[in-house]
Amino acid sequence: MSPPFRICFVCTGNICRSPMAASVFRARIAEAGLGGLVDVSSAGLGGWFEGEEADPRTVAVLRAGGYDHTHTARRFQPSWFDRLDLVIALDSGHLRELHRLAPTARDAAKVRALRSYGADAAADGSAGGDADHGLLSAAGPGVEIGPTAGLDVPDPYYGGSARFEECLEMIEAAADGLVEAVRAAVTPGPPGHHHPEEKDSA
């Protein structure tokens, strides 16, 4: 049996956005019948909250949305790149830092912005844009997102419950596109289909 496809969601402290994204994505993967093929985790770029549970506001919006949730915060380690297939950043700052931490160019190619998989990537005009963006999303052909593309999931930590609800909505909006990208990687597809970390050669 082949090993599972491993995906890790990364935010700042691993108590708000990334555990929320991991919970949503686990649910979507299970609904898609891919639960046994995909391993979902999360981490933070900083270690301030290591060993702690998710922010109570994160837990509250997940429960209200019907998502199962258990979590212990941890810090992302560059050594993990070797065993991960996809590393999902929640905002452009995380995207830049993960690229800096990547030991190799192949590892850096595993890093993607979450909302590049959603309809917002095209709706805000960042799809297929400036070549300097340099990050090809698996959401569809020619969809690129760069550090200034405006597709961040904003940090809700200093806001109230409404900010956490907005964060969940953004994550949910991108989840289906990411599921389809991962499905293409873990199930047989037609010749020429893309792995989520692959770039077009053009």
Strands (E), 75-184: 86-89, 111-113
Contact status, residue 158 vs residue 147, Cβ threshold 8 Å: no
**Percentage of the chain lying above the pLDDT 90 cut:** 74
Domain residues of the chain, as ranges? 5-186
The answer to whether the beta carbons of residues 114 and 40 sit under 8 Å apart is: no
pLDDT band (50, 70, 90) for residue 135: very low
Q: Distance between CA 168 and CA 196 in Å, rounded?
A: 23
* HEC readout, 93-106: HHHHHHHHHCCCHH
pTM, rounded to two decimals: 0.82
Position 176 scores a pLDDT of 95
Q: Residue 88 in contact with residue 119, Cβ under 8 Å?
A: no
d(CA 202, CA 200): 5
Q: Which residue has the higher pLDDT, 92 or 191?
A: 92
C-alpha to C-alpha distance for 36 and 90, rounded to whole angstroms: 25
Q: Which of 195, 163, 196, 172 is nearest to 27 (CA)?
A: 172
Question: How high is the pLDDT of residue 13?
Answer: 97
First to last CA, the chain: 34
Assigned fold of 5-186: Rossmann fold (3.40.50)
Report angle CA 71, 74, 80 to the nearest 5 degrees: 115
Q: What residues are labeled active site? A: 11, 17, 155
pLDDT tens track for 10-28: 999 999 999 999 999 999 9
Half-sphere exposure of 52 (CA within 13 A, CB side): 16
